[in-house]
Amino acid sequence: MSTLDATIPQTQCAVQLVGADELRLNPDKPVPRPGPHEILVRVEAVGLCFSDLKLLKQFDQHARKSEIVSGLDPDVLDEIQSYVPGGKATVPGHEVVGHIVAVGDQVRHHQIGERCLFQTDYRDLPTAGSNAAFGYNFEGGLQEYALVDERVVVDRQGERFLIPVGEQRSASAVALVEPWACVEDSYVNRERQTILAGGRLLVVADDPDAVDGLEEAFSPDGPPQSISRLRPAQAGEAADESFDDIVYLGADGETLETLNDKLAPKGIINIVLGGQSVGRPVNLGVGRVHYGMTRWIGTTGSRISDSYGMIPSIVEIRAGDRILVVGAGGPMGQMHVIRNICSGVAGIQVVGTDFDDARLESLQTKAGPLADANSVELKLVNTKTAKPEGSFSYIALMAPIAALVEQAIQDATDDAIVNIFAGIPAPTRHEIDLDTLIRKRCFMFGTSGSVIEDMKIVLRKVEAGQLDTNCSVDAISGMAGATDGIAAVADRTLAGKIIVYPSLHDVGLIPLSDLDRHFPSVAEKLDHGQWTLAAERELLRAAADPA
């Protein structure tokens, strides 16, 4: 093992999740020594996320906390000290920046002393319901020192998940690239528009051998590897989660509910109504649309390819869109609103809803001037006292509430896009009006996390001064206030992000509006109430030397 210095302590302060709703501050967690392929990072800053709360509530039932099913040999996983699937205690926190302080003797792609931004979404390592992630089934960043394995954090193309960054920007600004990248990913994700080449296709019809025009929906890259054909009464015989595409020619609700379970992660179910209607809401897996990236499409006609043709190549906002952001006052909702206002897309209108006046006022303060500068009409609505008027061509959902998906379909225009950004728990099913979804040609999708390129896009904006992610910061904390910070996320008492500095053991949770009572010299470094690099530097100095 090589080390930057010999002062790495034996123990550290860490937040550990040991069971559902069992969060503990451990002042004596051992600091691991890297194995041959492992990398030790001293954590500078961590942003708290609503996803941390979902992990807290679900623990080993969370789709990303379960065991990895492919991508790494079990023997390799057994060697990784920070791999903690299932019921093992974990460390939450996935919005992370830090410096590499030690590496194993077989580490080849990382150097001691590098400052790195963490891309934490390991999509090449699937779990049963999603994929592996740092801060879930790998220990995360709410600790002073985090350990990662190079066999996990270098992908199949040789890209690093620990992205090198310069020293010019604050740790908070760099750490917040991760949530901003998740927002970016939800708009630039490329959607499949054909039957998967080399995939597994299931055709369900009264006469599945006499289905015409199926080949029109095949990919230019080739046909599926296998085609299974069943009658509706046989649908239950198919293996669960085993098909990349399901084409159902029919309108029976019970059959659709059965087929829901047959769809593999990233699979598409295509409902060809042929002039019929389902006639009732269908209980389908809305949670898997986000975590499993499954898709439901359909056509009122008889051409199988028509349904695939309505899928957008990317799920970006479009010129003239009337955009609704549900839950706009929260940290992620604010990012969606600001991102769309600053997108440069012509003629858009943005409507944001929340049920808290203080959160909406905070959003108005941040987004109002940007909307004026970009000639975007912005309207904020408190849904406790009013309802947004009209219908919307793009709807982004920030709250993990299944009923909001159905409401979005009713509020959508024809050809609308519904972005299920909030992570509704993966097993969740809810009744959806598929007749309306199909008639409106409404595309319902979800994404989870981000990819390396999303991170690089946002990082370039930050490093060039085009985006100040610190506009999201609403409070700061040391480890003493980390659990209070997670409670604040749960209670939605703060409008923006909370940044935790693990090196500050004894600093509690402090909203920026209260900084002058705790650290007056830090408050002086704010820029019209906004967190800055100068404020961060002064906090680290003042908290380390209270005198």
Which among 309, 343, 376 is the end of a domain? 309
Query: Is the overall model pTM greater than 0.85, yes or no?
Result: yes
Residue 279 region by backbone torsions, left for phi larger than 0, else alpha for psi between -120 and 50, else beta: left
Distance from chain centroid for Cα 64: 11
pLDDT at res. 517: 97
Distance, in Å, from the CA atom of 428 to the CA atom of 542, rounded to the nearest integer, reads 47
User: Do 185 and 243 lie in a common domain?
Assistant: no
- Dump pLDDT digits (tens) for 90-109: 999 999 999 999 999 999 99
CA torsion through residues 318, 322, 327, 330, sign: positive
> Of 404, 432, 460, which residue sits at a domain end?
432
Which pLDDT tens digit goes with each residue over 239-250? 999 999 999 999
- The answer to whether residue 418 sits within a structural domain is yes
Whether 183 and 259 share a structural domain: no
Q: In the predicted model, what is the mean pLDDT of residues 369-385? A: 96
In a domain, 261, yes or no: yes
Calpha distance 49→192 (Å, rounded): 29
Chain-centre distance for alpha carbon 10: 34
Kindly state whether residues 18 and 142 are assigned to the same domain.
yes
Q: Is residue 533 part of a domain?
A: no
Where are the strands (E) in 114-178, listed by range? Answer: 115-118, 121-126, 131-133, 145-149, 162-164
User: What's CA 432's distance to the chain center, in Å?
Assistant: 23
The closest of 420, 213, 208, 169 to 307, measured between CA atoms, is 213
Letter string b/e over residues 116-134, b meaning 16 or more CB atoms within 10 A of that residue's CB: bbbbbbbbebbbebbbbbb
Q: Which of 401, 409, 410 is nearest to 443 (CA)?
A: 409
Say if residue 354 is in the same domain as residue 402.
yes
Task: Please tell me the distance from the alpha carbon of residue 438 to that of residue 282, in angstroms, as a whole number.
Answer: 13
Same domain? 181 vs 205: no
Q: With a cut of 80, say whether residue 113 has pLDDT above it.
A: yes
Q: What is the CATH number of the domain that holds 371?
A: 3.40.50.150
CATH of the domain at 252: 3.40.50.720
The predicted-structure confidence for 24-83, as pLDDT tens digits, reads as follows 999 999 999 999 999 999 999 999 998 888 899 999 999 999 999 999 999 999 999 999
What percent of the chain stands above pLDDT 70? 99
Please tell me which residue, 356 or 492, carries the higher pLDDT value. 356
Q: Is residue 527 part of a domain?
A: no
What is the band of 3 on the pLDDT scale with cuts at 50, 70, 90?
low
Average pLDDT over residues 407-430: 95
Do residue 380 and residue 273 come from a single domain? no
Residue 86 belongs to domain with CATH number: 3.90.180.10
Pair (231, 97) in one structural domain: no
Domain count, the chain: 3
pLDDT tens digits, residue range 453-480? 999 999 998 888 888 899 999 999 999 9
Contact yes or no for 500/482 (Cβ under 8 A): yes
Residue 547 covered by a domain: no
User: How much is the pLDDT for 2?
Assistant: 64
332 and 416 assigned to the same domain: yes
288: domain range? Answer: 200-309
Instruction: Tell whether the model's pLDDT for residue 180 goes beyond 90.
Output: yes
Does residue 266 sit in the same domain as residue 366? no
Sorted by sequence, the CB contacts under 8 Å of residue 528 that are 6+ apart come out as none
**Is it the case that residue 426 has pLDDT exceeding 80?**
yes
Same domain, 26 and 171: yes
Sign of the C-alpha dihedral, residues 19, 286, 292, 119?
Answer: negative
Question: Do 162 and 227 share a domain, yes or no?
Answer: no
State whether 333 and 283 are in the same domain. Answer: no
